[in-house]
Structure 1
Amino acid sequence: MPYKDDFTNAQGWSAVDVSTRLNTTAAKTFLTFLRSKGVDTLIRYYASSERAKTITAAEAKYLSKEGFAILPVFQDSSRKIEHFSSAQGVANAKSAMDFAKRVGQPKGKGSTILFAVDADYEADQIDGPILDYFRAVKAEIGGAFSMGAYGSGAVLAKLLAEGLISVPWLSMSRLFLGTEQFFYSSRWSMRQVPPDLTHGPSGVGYDRNIIRVAKQELGAFVVDDTGHGSLFWNEDLDATLGGNPHVQVDEALVAGDRFVTTEGLRLRQSPNGVIVRDMTLGEKVTDLGASVEPGWRKVRVGLEEGVVFGKYLREPLRAEVEALLRAALDEWLRFDKGQADERGDPYYKYVRQMWAAIGEPYDGRSRYANGEEVPWSAAFISWVVRKAGPAYANFKFAAGHSVFVNNAIKARLTERLDKPFWGYRINEQKPEIGDIIQRNRASGTFTYSYAENHAEYISHSDIVVEVTADVARVLGGNVDDTVTMSSDLQEYRLDSDGYLEPGQRVIALLKNRAGLSG
């Protein structure tokens, strides 16, 4: 493919830069549009407080509440070489830090401020005034913030080589000096995709951006109602505003730990003896060894000891998979193992939490203007994946299954090792615990090929929580108005080789690769 075609390919864009304030009535439709496209990062400006392109504290709080990460770029007179000098670098660094303080950007936490170099410059200009400028900025900012830059390939390559920036943002001007080579070197963190676009319904102009690196490396942030800022993708916190993951990915497992593989297993005093209690799918036990009867295992569960049939115990999987399974099962338990109703109290509030995490206003009672219920099954998947911890930070959290499925398929095709799921056809991979199965909904007849090229269609998906020799059982939300694994549509037949049988209206299988290095 020619360079021009490669450079203008916007596949996988998930961030936009906007020079208009977005806490307005008109902009609300624009934000809704962005969410439908899977966008989670907004690049806004530190410029002059008199200019509308400058982000305000109120806007930062609003965008954060709407579920977007904020990445600021300082851009104030950067189109002429006279705008770059050591003195100007000191002044601009101070100005940028002042804006950061007003907005609530977290200081000393690794959040990033980008500095713009808007025009095309020759090597002597880059090695002279521009390098002096960035050295001064770096010296002034110190460790308060991470630094990034926007500009040509030649500018970014030099700043990286000098150790002055950690987030190189490649300009959309493909004919700028060194840009073609830098583009193909894949050293950029983000790149701006031409052309400039305008969202018709809102009138908001925007540029699409592709993020190549893990989101944690960007240093984007959010601000709460009190003006306190925090990193959006945090190694210690999950990406939900104000929440910790239910499950630590590195939860310690010891030799002998096993997990219950099916609902209905019973802890007994002896083989086929008195029932102590029912066990729950996913419950952790300690295997104490074989019992006197073949097939039975002695186990400890907390302070209780007894025996269970060993067929229904499994060894631990990857910690990241266990974290996702635990997060899914926690929601199932929170909805009383599928007995709760989405409209009841407090369950509708639980659905509200799921929606809020992706910036939507709905809850379990919500309906559209035409009276139809607002489906929350994709919000459930996004919520569970988010709660599973930082290994899943690069999941395409969205209100529609088709969005994150399309992203997972493209991640596989482009070998995105930072993505926690890759999408496959049902004859390419076998389902395992922690995978996601997407199927058609209602009268839909969508195929894998369609899903590869589209991200806006109706479908449903569930998380695989149990696999036997002949079936894969899944758990999902908004199934029979609750969180359950008991629906007729939540048990998929497997063929003799362990693949999903055709004819079950499955669109794609998303394989869980969180925690894998290659």
Structure 2
Amino acid sequence: MRLSAPSASAGRRVHALLLALWPTALLAACATPPQATARFREPPLSYPPSTRERIVRFALTEWQDWGGYVTTPGEKHPPSKAPGPESAIANFPRVLAYWRAVEEDRPVIDRNRDRYAAALQGAATAPWREPAWSAAFISWVMRSAGVDQREFAGNAAHSFYLDAILADARDFPAQAPFVPHSIGDYAPAPGDLVCGDRSRRPLTDWRERLAEIGQFRAMHCDIVVRVGPFVAEAVGGNVEDAVTMTRFPTDASGRLLPRPAGEPVLFGVIEDRIGRLPPFGAAIPIPANPPASIGAPVS
């Protein structure tokens, strides 16, 4: 997997969004009451259970279409300078479709169209080797399943759509379609996102992200598609230069185990509550004393 910073246009759009969602006081480590920002935004809409099923189905179908690659954390592959599956001519339209879900990154599309055109003429080019397209893949799955931009703010960077998820979890705890959980507190289920940090100084818990909202961070998230005894299977893009299934080991209760040394550090599971919120599911109880972890800074 190759990682790069998102395009400048994506960064500007997310920066503007976050200025509206996250008050300066939050960035300065001072909690802001949820109602201070919630009243300026319309709450997210609720979606039927079929939408969650479509998320899983689209992820699985893409994985199968790419050849059904499977990997396990800690599995080693010899380095290679040869182009990966992403650069095959047959796969150009697939990755192009993912980038179309984050259309503001048009320069990325134009640059790789040029590489593809050269490849069609026999040149030794490698379309889609950069930038990383894993967040574009997640955004495409959500959009293809029918989740609108308001409910999932698709972006070329995982860190930026995660910021929007955290904002909704803070401002609309009873209506947010996605809510974060610490690795040790929650067992992932199909439709959830498993997220890890690929940076040199990785986050170890999603709460740590609250101190740096709006800043790019190298992350990766996969969509959970199946769970079983001691394993959670999740599909992600740009893993081994393809859409790949990762088999994450879990404990007896289904919670994720730490990844081997040298692997991205798992810092959270994003619960997908689509189909489980009113009017399609039971009302989500709101604690009398909401946890300070949502919307509060990390000190």
**Do the two structures share a fold, i.e. TM-score over 0.5?**
yes
The 1:482/1:372 distance shift into structure 2, 3 A limit, reads closer
Residue 341 of structure 1 and its aligned partner are, at CA, apart by: 1.4
Q: 2:221 aligns with which of 434, 458, 461?
A: 461
Aligned residue identity for 1:214:
P
- Partner SS state of residue 342, structure 1: helix
- Partner SS state of residue 346, structure 1: helix
The 1:38/1:333 distance shift into structure 2, 3 A limit, reads farther
Aligned residue identity for 1:454:
E
Query: Which residue of structure 2 lines up, in the alignment, with residue 230 of structure 1?
Result: none
Higher helix share: 2
Inter-partner Cα distance in structure 2 for 1:38 and 1:428: 32
Residue 465 of structure 1 and its aligned partner are, at CA, apart by: 1.2
Q: 2:171 aligns with which of 414, 426, 436?
A: 414
Residue 492 of structure 1 and its aligned partner are, at CA, apart by: 1.8
Query: Which residue of structure 1 lines up, in the alignment, with residue 208 of structure 2?
Result: 450
Query: Which residue of structure 1 lines up, in the alignment, with residue 4 of structure 2?
Result: none
> Which TM-score applies when normalising by structure 2?
0.63
Query: Which residue of structure 2 lines up, in the alignment, with residue 502 of structure 1?
Result: 258
- After TM superposition, the structure 1 = structure 2 runs for residues 131-280 of structure 1, keeping only pairs within 5 Å, are 188=39, 191=40, 211-214=41-44
Higher Cα radius of gyration: 1
Query: Which residue of structure 2 lines up, in the alignment, with residue 431 of structure 1?
Result: 188
> What stretches of structure 2 of length at least 5 have no aligned partner?
1-6, 19-34, 71-83, 116-127, 278-283, 285-299
Higher strand share: 1
> What stretches of structure 1 of length at least 5 have no aligned partner?
1-27, 41-182, 192-210, 217-248, 251-317
How many aligned residue pairs are there? 220
The 8 Å contact of residues 342 and 365 in structure 1, kept in 2 or not, is answered as no
The 8 Å contact of residues 10 and 156 in structure 2, kept in 1 or not, is answered as no
The 1:215/1:516 distance shift into structure 2, 3 A limit, reads closer
Aligned residue identity for 1:355:
W
> Which TM-score applies when normalising by structure 1?
0.38
Give every structure 1 segment of 4 or more consecutive aligned residues whose post-TM-superposition deviation is greater than 6 Å.
183-186
Q: 1:492 aligns with which of 248, 253, 263?
A: 248
Residue 476 of structure 1 and its aligned partner are, at CA, apart by: 0.5
Inter-partner Cα distance in structure 2 for 1:477 and 1:499: 23
Q: 1:381 aligns with which of 134, 138, 144?
A: 138
Query: Which residue of structure 2 lines up, in the alignment, with residue 474 of structure 1?
Result: 234
The 1:364/1:469 distance shift into structure 2, 3 A limit, reads farther
The 8 Å contact of residues 351 and 363 in structure 1, kept in 2 or not, is answered as no
- Partner SS state of residue 475, structure 1: strand
Inter-partner Cα distance in structure 2 for 1:429 and 1:476: 20
Q: 473-482 vs 420-429, which deviates more?
A: 420-429
Structure ranking higher on relative contact order (CA contacts 8 Å, 6+ apart): 2
Query: Which residue of structure 1 lines up, in the alignment, with residue 15 of structure 2?
Result: 37
Q: Give CA-to-partner distance per residue, 1:182-202, whole Å, 9 cap, x none.
A: x7796x5xx3xxxxxxxxxxx
Inter-partner Cα distance in structure 2 for 1:184 and 1:479: 40
Residue 500 of structure 1 and its aligned partner are, at CA, apart by: 1.5
Matched, 1:325 2:35: no
Query: Which residue of structure 1 lines up, in the alignment, with residue 274 of structure 2?
Result: 514
Inter-partner Cα distance in structure 2 for 1:458 and 1:498: 26
Residue 212 of structure 1 and its aligned partner are, at CA, apart by: 2.8
Aligned residue identity for 1:491:
R
Residue 372 of structure 1 and its aligned partner are, at CA, apart by: 7.3
The 8 Å contact of residues 320 and 514 in structure 1, kept in 2 or not, is answered as yes
**Matched-pair identity in %:** 27
Q: Give CA-to-partner distance per residue, 1:301-358, whole Å, 9 cap, x none.
A: xxxxxxxxxxxxxxxxx42321110111122233233498111223122212211221
